[in-house]
Structure formats: C-alpha cells, structure tokens
Chains A and B, each alone.
Chain A
C-alpha cells in the first residue's frame, strides 16, 4: 500500500483538532502515515504530529506563516510528486476546501470532499458523506486512480492518545519562485459584542424557525427565565435578528455550555459543529426529521410558538418555588 499523506492544519499558533483526528484515522487504514506540515517555526506541531505519524515532512519557511492557497498548492503538489502517496487527507475546513479541489485538478487526482466515514477496499477508498444538509448519507466508491484526495469533516475520526514516534524530516521549501497572484493581508477578528457566548453556561439557540424579528420576545423570555444567553444559527444572524457575535457554528463561535436549548434550529452540521460539545442538548423543532434530534439528548417535536411560552412559564414556576 502506498503512503497516506495527512495535511496538518494550523493557524495563529494553534494546530487544529482535525489534523490529529485524521492522523489517528489514517493509522487504522494500514500503510505508512506521513504528516505534512507547512509552516514557519512550528517545531512544536512537528513534534506533536510525530506522536501520531510514521513520518513528518516538515517545511519550515516564512512563506507558510499564514495559509495561502497559492503557496500551499505549489508546495504540496511538489511534495506529492516527489513522494508519491496514494491517498491525501485534508481537513474539510475553510482552508481545505480552498485548497483540495485546485490541487486535485492540478494533479489529475481523484477527489471527494467532506467525507464523514472512510473504509478502504485495498488501495481504494470507500467514503461516506452526507447530502441534503445531513438528511441522507451517501455511500461512494471511487474509480481507479493513482492518487485520491479526500477532505475530511471534523470528528469523522476520533483523536486518541499519541502512540507513535515518527521521524521528523525537515524538507527544503520546494517553492522557489515568487508568489504571484494571491497575497495574504491580515486576519480580522469578529466583532465582540456585549455578551461572550463562549463563556455562557446556559444558552438558548434560536434558529430560522422563529420566522420573524418580532417573534424574538418568545425566546428572549425563555432565556431570561432560565438565566441563559441567546445564541443563534446563521440564518438568524443573516436576517439581522441577532448580532453576528451570537452565531454558533463553523463560521461563528464554538460553545460548550452546560445546556444548549436549540429552538427552531434544523441542526445543519455547520451549526452543530459549534455546539455539539455542550453537556446537555435539548431541541424544540416541529420537524420530527430535523437532524438536530440526532445529536440532542432531549427533544420536543412541536411548534415552538406553542411549547416555548409554556416552558417559560414552567421554568418561572420552578424558580419561584
């Protein structure tokens, strides 16, 4: 079996969890697991990756201080051509999705994005991914190819304790020419508002099911009764019903409150990613098939406008008692 490349993703001094998850997942597929690390003075990440990989290819160059698809693509394609792995795993992140399709086109590689499970049929991957916003699982096979590139959704594999001591191989930067067409400028933090929902212990998450701005008091009152803060799906933030610092999910905040009460939220994976670590998850949604019920601990299948006011009442009673 050919080697498996796993691209280590990191940003601003932090290595992303998906990298370790992919290394652990790759280790179970058989074959040599090679962690590929592009960065500037990120020796610590190289060492961390070595705990999970048979080998770490580490390119230390100022060019890789911040992610840039142009630099990454050039470096990766050179490394892949040189080392000839059969499978490349990249996180299905804002970075991975910007990078993997272009890389696949350049290398003529086989590609499938956002996979949520992976089996191997010899050298050939048999991935699973979701369709229709998580309402269906789609099972794939891949046509014969020399190289398969897969982008992997977070939490597809489970991170385990380090068990390897891979060799760290420092590689010269294969990108010798100047970058021409794409230039990193800066990172801009999301605006911070008055409430920091990442610090909240109780959250009421509001989704598009609330329908209109003028219905917001329904959930505001519940939050108040509970002593919770309000969080939102992106649908609600896009509509301008809550400020963007309340958004939970992949492009919002990751929250881990003791209670996350999702009201009128369908449970799109992009949202769920940001709240699935909550201790207790409760969902109120009128659609019995809403994916949110798949991760919730408790659910009420009903119209939120009927249930939430009642719940507010009951909570008030309990608190009064």
Chain B
C-alpha cells in the first residue's frame, strides 16, 4: 500500500509568550521554537506502522512550507518515510485551510496512494479543514479525528475509529483510497535519531512551485482564500481570575482559606 503523509512545521507556543508583530496580522516568531505539528507526528507514525505491519508499501511525506520545513520532513523520512515533496511558492503564503488543501491536493493527485494521512488540525491556526477538504478535492472519501485504523483489505477497505465528544468512538468502514485526519494518542511516535535525520538529508526532497503543480497563483495562498485575516488581538478574557500573590507559603494559605470559606474543605 502506498501512503502519503502531510506534515506541517508550526511554532511551539504552549509555553511561550506570543507577541503580535507590527503588521498586526502575524506574530513575532523570532524567539519561538518550531517543530512538527503534534497530530502530524502521530500521522507519520501511523503510516509507518501500517507499512511495517503489512511488510510492503511506501510512505511519501508532503509539506507545504519554506526551506525550514525540511527539518520536519527529514525527521519523518528518518523514521521510515521513503520519499518527500515540499511545496514552496510565494503564492502559497497566507492561505486559509481550503487554500492549503488545494495546493496539497494538486501535489497528491499525481501520486499513487491508498491512504493520505494528515493531522486532524494544526496547532497554530486550528482550522481542522484539510482532511475533509482534501478528500473532497481528490474525490475520495475521508474521515477525521481518527484514533484507530485497521486495514481490512489492503488497497480496498479500512475500518477506522473516530473520536467524538465524550470519548465515544464512532467506527466506520471506508473505501480506499481515502484521506484520514489523525488525532493525537492513536500510537506512540518513535524517536528520529540524529544519525537517521542526517542520512535522510541525503534523500532528495522534491520542491514544487504552484506552476509545477499546474496551479494558478490566484487559486492558492492569500489570493485563493475566502477568509481574510484583518488583525490579531489579545483574547478578550471574561473576568480574569483573581490572582493570589505571594510566596508559595502565602498563596497556598490564601487558597486554602478561600476553599474553606466556600465550604469546599
């Protein structure tokens, strides 16, 4: 079975301060560290595990992004990916979820595939658009929030479990080829050794522009997006929490007193 995995390089903002830049439409990324989007990492692992289980097949890694994205591509190659493609063009910049899906679809259309894996959503924009949109653009079925994949008949049919609200799993059977949006926790991603990454650096990453993919600059990126980002603002938080000040000893005492007063202790 041939599989494609779409990966995205994203800034890690969980523990970092996020500052809006002068344009008001982007953030200052100079002091952020970057890595593979969390669910994409699980998607890569899932594809490689299926290849290992079946004992045959290929995994092609596709990423839309600039040269810096090579790092996350190489990591995926080091883990067991076979080939790689990176989509880079000024025309791709600033795209919303649909525009991104369009570029990916154009790239994947020319490949032979049984399953296209993507992450369920991106940590930065949180759009969660690509899996379902990509399926529709490629004219194949899709499922997203996937937390279990069982190949019933290679190249033909799979059973997948989708994680719904409340932890309920919805199982469905789906024809291949298809697009699956993978959710975190589906597996335990392996480690990509430095040596493996360096060896993977020898593998060629095919770089494709919009023109290479037969795309018009007006179809993709900002021009091809419906949504126009006007500005970022710090979130309007409701009533902010009352922050208890002091050394741990004091804050702990204050909190304990509050809990007591509220009858919680």
User: A302, B248: Cβ atoms under 8 Å?
Assistant: yes
Q: Whole-angstrom distance from the CB of A103 to the nearest CB of chain B?
A: 8
- B83 at the A/B interface (Cβ < 8 Å)? no
Main secondary structure of the interface of B (DSSP, over half): mixed
B-facing mask of A268-306, CB < 8 A → 1, else 0?
A: 000000000000111100011101011111111111001
Expressed in whole angstroms, the Cα–Cα distance for A98 and B179 within the complex equals 11
Contact B243 A301 (CB under 8 A): yes
- Interface of chain B residues 217 through 235 with chain A (CB within 8 A): 225-235
Query: Which residues of A lie under 8 Å from residue B168 when comparing CB positions?
Result: 11, 187-190
A19 interface residue per 8 A CB criterion: no
| Residues of B contacting A133 in the complex (Cβ-Cβ under 8 angstroms) | 13-14, 123, 126
Instruction: Flag whether B137 is at the interface (Cβ < 8 A).
Output: yes
Q: Provide the bound-state CA to CA distance between A185 and B265, in Å.
A: 47
Binary contact track A177-192/B, C-beta < 8 Å → 1, others 0: 0001111111111100
Instruction: Say yes or no: A113 contacts B97, CB within 8 Å.
Output: yes
Report whether A132 and B244 are in contact in the complex, using a CB–CB cutoff of 8 Å: no
Tell me, in angstroms, the Cα distance from A97 to B132 when the chains sit together.
8
For residue A81, CB closer than 8 A to chain B, the reply is no
- Say yes or no for A34: interface residue by CB 8 A criterion: no
Cβ of B249 and Cβ of A139 under 8 Å apart?
Answer: no
A275 and B43 alpha carbons, distance in the complex (Å): 28
Contact string against A for B residues 165-202, beta-carbon threshold 8 Å, 1 for contact and 0 otherwise? 11111111111001000011100000000000000000
A237 interface residue per 8 A CB criterion: yes
A318 & B141 in contact (Cβ 8 Å cutoff): no
Interface size range of chain A in the complex: 35 or more
A310: interface (CB < 8 Å):
yes
Interface residue stretch chosen among B68-76, B86-94, B142-150: B142-150
Residues of B within 8 A of A143 (CB): 225-228
B167 to chain A: closest residue by CB? A190
Q: Any chain B CB within 8 A of the CB of A79? A: no
Q: Is A112 an interface residue (CB 8 A)?
A: yes
A-B contact count (CB 8 A): 275
Contact between A318 and B265 (Cβ–Cβ < 8 Å)? Answer: yes
A140 touches B228 (CB 8 A): yes
Which residue in chain B gives the minimum CB-CB distance to A228? B264
A104 interface residue (CB < 8 Å to B): yes
Q: Please give the distance in Å from B169's CB to the nearest CB on chain A.
A: 4
Which chain A residue shows the least CB distance to B230? A139
A298, B244: Cβ atoms closer than 8 Å? yes
Taking CB atoms, residues of chain A closer than 8 Å to B255 are: 282, 298, 300, 311, 314
Residue of B nearest to A93 (CB): B165
Considering only residues 90-111 of chain B, those with a C-beta below 8 Å from chain A are 96-98, 101
Nearest CB to that of B133 among chain A residues? A101
Q: Does B17 contact A (CB under 8 A)?
A: yes
On chain B, the residues within 8 Å of A78 by CB distance are: none
* Nearest A-chain residue to B235, judged by Cβ: A137
Q: In the docked arrangement, what's the CA distance between A190 and B165, Å?
A: 11
Given contacts A188-B168, A314-B252, contact A293 B243 (CB under 8 A): yes
Which B residues fall within an 8 A CB radius of A? 11, 13-15, 17-18, 20, 27, 96-98, 101, 120-121, 123-133, 135-137, 140-145, 159, 161-175, 178, 183-185, 225-238, 240-244, 248-249, 251-253, 255-256, 258-260, 262, 264-265
14 contacts between A and B (CB under 8 A): A69-B132, A102-B132, A111-B226, A112-B227, A114-B127, A132-B13, A132-B18, A137-B233, A143-B227, A298-B255, A299-B244, A307-B252, A310-B249, A317-B256
Contacts A98-B142, A101-B136 known; 9 new A-B pairs at CB < 8 A: A110-B226, A111-B96, A136-B234, A139-B233, A185-B171, A281-B241, A288-B243, A293-B241, A314-B253
